A and B are shown apart, each in its own frame.
Chain A
Amino acid sequence: MIVEVKHLTKKFPVGKAYFTALKDLNLSFAEAEFTGLVGPSGSGKTTLLNIIGSLDVPSEGEVIVLGKSVGRLSPPEAALLRKQELGFIFQNYNLLPVYTVFENVEFPLLLLDMPARERKKRVLESLSWLGLSDKVNSRPAQLSGGECQRVAIARAMVKRPRLVLADEPTANLDSVNSHNILQAMLKLNQELKTSFIFATHDEKVIGYLKRIIQLEDGRVAEDRLV
């Protein structure tokens, strides 16, 4: 298993009380899955994604990502896990605005101290996969929403992570761009055996998923293979 979620509960302080976003959740994700966490706003999709991504920690229970319990990782250990094994795709792309497309995609490899020649090869390869070879020197402000999200996917994939976490990746895209993006991710999942976990309530995404986990009020309402 690439991810194991055991009796996970996550509470957030709201004033003097607590809001429970995830309640005693038990899940596991195998390698090369193309899974979606679906459900309405507030169902706990993003919270679960953040904990799997070691950006947040469980209040109770345990989440084991690639053999590491995220709740027990120190900040540098959690950063190392994200740096080496995880890729993130965000709803708002979150590209670094002053960087070119090439530099945005190159950034995770810089953090890995990869040699310059290898970096360049990997970046150009990733951009080629996603049909962005002609946008190498463009800045995010010069790109369309679909192109920005493809850059974000290239950035997430360039280091060949074992797991990619995508939070509402198509929320800001039109139908054509959404399908293009999803096809690109599916291709990467099939060719590189990278696991994808989506948090989404977009029907277009759901159509591509191989496993759907329905969350409702912080609990798993349904977990089915498509």
Chain B
Amino acid sequence: MKLFKTALKSLLGNGLKTWLTVFVLSVSFVLIIFMQGLLEGWSRQAVIDAVAWEIAGGQYWSEAYDPYDPFSLDSCARDIPDQLMPAAESGLLEAVLISQGTIYPQGRMQGVILKGIDPEQQIVKLPTRLLAGEGPEIPVIIGAHMAKQAHLKENDLVTLRWRDANGTFEAADLRIAGIFVTTVPTIDNGQIWLALDKLQSMMLRENQASILIASPDYEAQQLEGWLFKDVEELSSNTIAMVKAKSMGMAIFYLIFLLLALLAIFDTQTLAIFRRQREIGTLVALGMTRKQVQWLFTLEGSLNALLAIALGCLYGIPLFIYLSTNGLSFPIDVSEFGLPVSDVMYPYYSLKLIVGTIVFILLSTALVSYLPARQIARMNPTEAIRGKMH
């Protein structure tokens, strides 16, 4: 406490210089929490949206299904196993058949992924009821991003060409029965959703599916030829992608933090030479050189404590406002390739705040300690006279 009071008094005695350092450090402290909170909020929103729109309670994947291998998409479908039929019939599992085709919007050619799903399903948020209905054209739904890319509107007709299980090319007209808006790009970009039974008959794959989406109430079981992937596994890619995207942002606040730490290091180094008479006096008054060294380390570290206090003054209201009202993105983020909603709600966890405080305190203590080591090597008799070089 004695050392703390002494260090605080010396630090505050430096006046404007201290407050400038503290301000820069507080900005980096607030910026780190803000950015990390935004990332955390983004991650959470991405997972929540992916669960609502695509993952649900997990998925069975046909052993041959690889979403990143277009060559295997047409042949990965398998018969829905008998063991899963009761769950599929009761709505606990929804079969999805995945295949490929080509559409010709406005005379252009565009490769698409075709996904067949039961129009009556209630497991995922897709507006699949629009897929029901009879007519000369096949009713399909697409995402807003896909609609924009292909210049398609509701009730537009577009020709689809596909190859069935025997390798025969077929063609039919599709009618855009609905366009849904989602933040999940993996069910939107380049994808067309249609009724499962229709796609099965088009592909000559009766009773076959590529994946089965499970309801959250479904209890998974081991099945030969099918792999069950839980929510955690299916969302890990999304989280990893969000983190990878955010690495670029991290560089900015790390540079800012580095500048603040450099200022503290510089202040400390100068202070030790400028205040050597004071150091010598403290030793003469009865402190050991080690104690003086810790006093200076503490003094430097107190910059962080003041910065945290200052950061809390303007950071807490800012964080409360942002987590309540969200942060709007005025730009079109649909090209981002990741689930990004128009309004992002940052999430500030206790772990994030405490972690950032500890990180700032430790890094400040380190840059304060490094120059202060010089004190332990000082000759007090020379220091008292201010004769050290």
Contacts and interface: CB of A to CB of B under 8 A. Distances in A.
Interface of A: 46, 50, 53, 55-56, 75-76, 79-80, 82-84, 88, 90, 92, 94, 96-99, 103, 107-108, 110-113, 155
A75 B287 contact: no
Nearest to B275: A97
Contacts of A108: 285-286
Contacts of B284: 53, 55, 82, 88, 90, 94
Contacts of B280: 94
Nearest to B376: A75
Contacts of B158: none
B289 interface: yes
B265 to A, nearest CB: 21
A56 B381 contact: yes
B290 interface: yes
Interface stretch (B8-16, B141-149, B256-264, B352-360): B8-16
Interface string B348-389: 000000000000000000000000000000001100111000
B14 to A, nearest CB: 8
A110 B2 contact: yes
B283 A103 contact: no
Contacts of A88: 281, 284-285
A78 to B, nearest CB: 8
B380 to A, nearest CB: 5
Q: Main secondary structure on chain B at its contact with chain A?
A: helix
B267 to A, nearest CB: 14
Contact of A98 (B9, B283, B289, B386): B9
A218 B288 CA distance: 28
Given A55-B384, A90-B384, A97-B278, A82 B12 contact: no
Name, among B9, B281, B287, the residue most crowded by chain A CB atoms within 10 Å (CB to CB).
B281
Contacts of B281: 88, 90, 94, 96
A199 B311 CA distance: 52
3 closest Cβ contacts across the A-B interface? A98-B13, A83-B286, A94-B281
Given A76-B288, A94-B280, A110-B5, 20 more contacts: A55-B284, A75-B289, A79-B283, A79-B286, A80-B286, A82-B285, A82-B286, A83-B286, A88-B284, A92-B277, A94-B277, A94-B278, A94-B284, A96-B10, A99-B9, A107-B6, A107-B285, A108-B286, A111-B2, A111-B287
A55 B383 CA distance: 11
A200 B196 CA distance: 104
B274 to A, nearest CB: 11
Contacts of B5: 110
Contacts of B277: 92, 94
Given A50-B381, A103-B9, A111-B2, A96 B287 contact: no
A84 B286 contact: yes
Contacts of B385: 92
A76 B280 CA distance: 15
A171 B12 CA distance: 32
30 contacts: A55-B283, A55-B380, A75-B288, A75-B290, A79-B283, A79-B286, A79-B287, A79-B288, A80-B286, A82-B283, A82-B284, A83-B286, A88-B284, A88-B285, A90-B281, A90-B284, A90-B384, A92-B386, A94-B278, A94-B280, A94-B384, A96-B10, A98-B9, A98-B12, A98-B13, A108-B286, A111-B285, A111-B287, A112-B286, A113-B2
Interface in B1-28: 2, 5-6, 9-10, 12-14
A125 to B, nearest CB: 19
Nearest to A76: B288
Contacts of A75: 288-290
A46 to B, nearest CB: 8
A7 B381 CA distance: 22
A153 to B, nearest CB: 14
Contacts of B380: 55-56
A94 B287 CA distance: 15
A80 B380 CA distance: 15
A118 to B, nearest CB: 15
Contacts of A84: 286
A50 B283 CA distance: 12
Given A55-B380, A55-B384, A113-B2, A97 B13 contact: yes
Interface string B18-55: 00000000000000000000000000000000000000
Interface in B258-315: 277-278, 280-281, 283-291
Contacts of B13: 97-99
Contacts of A82: 283-286
A176 B303 CA distance: 44
B285 to A, nearest CB: 5
Nearest to A111: B286
Contacts of A107: 6, 285
